[in-house]
Amino acid sequence: MAAITNLVHNDDVVKKLHKLGGVDLVVQSLLKHPEFTESSVHGMRLLGKCIEHNFNAKELIELRGVEACLGAMKAHRGVEAIAQGGLFALQAMAEGGQEASQLVGKHGGIDVALDNIKNFKDNPKIVLSGLKLLGALASSKENATKMQALNAVPICVEAMYVFTFSMTLFP
């Protein structure tokens, strides 16, 4: 899967991959075997790159891409590469428009973003990815309301302090 992920560098490659059933295969692999670490890392990265190269976010969500990412992240809680890849893929899906953002939030994107921001508070890359995901999710009023109910503001402010402090020490 790493080889295919590295080949995804333009829209044409993504179209060919999708036409051959590769996108669905990656989602199904993540859903059936979230415990496989390497497949999870590369699979989520591949899904995020597909969205970056104009694969329809709503279509990926309909293929159960959100559930696939969340399952892999749950199976490997605490693994930085999985958290990074999962947040990246979820953010890419959430940025696919307001409806896509709502769907990612509805399927658990808010909870996983907050969870990873708290659990990886000393890792600026993951904190930033979590904050970016929350930013994409906040485009939906429904998601913004849920974030407030989950006390997201203090979690984000604390993360921003840690992130800012670590970036001044280690630019």
Residue 163: what pLDDT? 67
Mean pLDDT taken over the chain: 89
Exposure string for 36-46, b = 16+ CB within 10 A, e = fewer: beebbbbbbbb
The pLDDT-based confidence of 166 (bands split at 50, 70, 90) is: low
Instruction: Count CB neighbours of 161 within 10 A.
Output: 11
Can you list the domains of the chain with their CATH numbers? 2-169 (1.25.10.10)
pLDDT score for 1 = 78
